Amino acid sequence: MELNGEILPIAHIESQISYKLYLGSEKDIEDAKYLYDIFEKKLKMDILKRNLKKLGVPESRLSVLSGDQSG
């Protein structure tokens, strides 16, 4: 991303969501839900799942993004 002619590095949204799920605090989960809600239609779920696996987060944690608290 570029801002005022300067390169501004930003992590892919799938990385941001998976990292928030990895951190796992109530605030981080809410942040992950917010990002998921905004970008849901553009997310690359294969990348999100791959990131979760790399971080050691069970794929079942994705259920918290849709409001199902069983994950």
Per-domain boundaries in the chain: 19-58
User: What is the tens place of the pLDDT at every residue in 12-50?
Assistant: 999 999 999 999 999 999 999 999 999 999 999 999 999
Q: Nearest 5 degrees, angle CA 62-CA 69-CA 38?
A: 50
Contacts of 2 (CB under 8 A, 6+ apart): 8
Contact 7, 1 (CB under 8 A): yes
Amino acid at 45: M
Q: Which band of pLDDT confidence, cut at 50, 70 and 90, is reported for residue 69?
A: low
Note the pTM of the prediction, 2 decimals.
Answer: 0.83
